[in-house]
Chains A and B, each alone.
Chain A
């Protein structure tokens, strides 16, 4: 990755809607050069996409929760299938496989305590979920939106 790539990444992290023409002017390069570099970063998977960063508290979410899930390997349960089920659930923003104490981690936005409890129950009902350890914190803090949306 070169300097121009870095500049494009940093600029679009602050404002993803900035035109390529404006970025080109900032670095004294042609718009086509900037577009080519951007496209290559997308092709290489450095840029996964783009999104809007919302104020979760103003959206009516009081908290963010981390659910760490243990998976049972019996009865043909497949961690990838559980992961796919999780990421389709409303309010789950991130899901990943992990190695260590637990098998999966999900991060979810939480309206209030009843919702927290309800979401925990819904996760527990997914076939193959053996155990859940969960934690919650106020939604006011950003985790790191350029990597994790929230």
Chain B
């Protein structure tokens, strides 16, 4: 999907602050506010932009312990294990992954006891061979601007 410099300016501004005013982006791009609004609508219409969101700190919402789980399963039972994981309270994400283990998952719990209980529940599944837990410490760093947008630029004539 191709985009141009104005689209990139809109995306870059909203990546940093989704509440940036259209007038500010317009000034920066030297185009009219209408152009920015039209372009933003088009980005949404084409599906490149799904929505905007605020970024919340899970730890401030009662999810004190965040962990990523690396799970090794019986080879033919990956989908079954993923379905089981997604049913568990506190499992935010679980996917079939290619690499050193079969399933990558992220879980959030109120405290370490609950996280350990979740790990034990997962380990007790007959098709699960091994669960490795990595508990996240300190605030995790996020950088939405690290998306590379420039490769999407239309080739210059």
Contacts and interface: CB of A to CB of B under 8 A. Distances in A.
Interface of A: 1, 9, 12-17, 44-55, 58-60, 66, 68, 83, 87-102, 105, 109, 111, 133-137, 141, 143-149
B99 A55 contact: no
Nearest to A132: B100
Contact of A46 (B52, B60, B104, B137): B60
Contact of A147 (B50, B55, B134): B55
A15 B52 contact: yes
Contacts of B49: 52-55
A72 to B, nearest CB: 18
B19 A60 contact: no
A16 B134 contact: no
B11 A101 contact: no
Interface string B90-110: 001101111111001010000
Contacts of B15: 51-52
A55 B11 CA distance: 12
Identify the interface centre among B68, B138, B140, B148: most chain A CB within 10 Å of its CB: B140
State which size class the interface on B falls in: 35 or more
B146 A133 contact: no
A91 B53 contact: no
Contact of A100 (B53, B56, B61, B133): B133
A99 B137 contact: yes
A48 B70 contact: no
Given A45-B60, A95-B141, A144-B92, A53 B51 contact: yes
Given A12-B53, A16-B53, A98 B68 contact: yes
A144 B93 contact: yes
B138 A97 contact: yes
Contacts of A147: 55-58, 92
Contacts of A60: 1, 151-152
B50 A135 contact: no
Interface string B62-97: 000001101000000000000000000000110111
Contacts of A50: 17-19, 52-55
B1 A101 contact: no
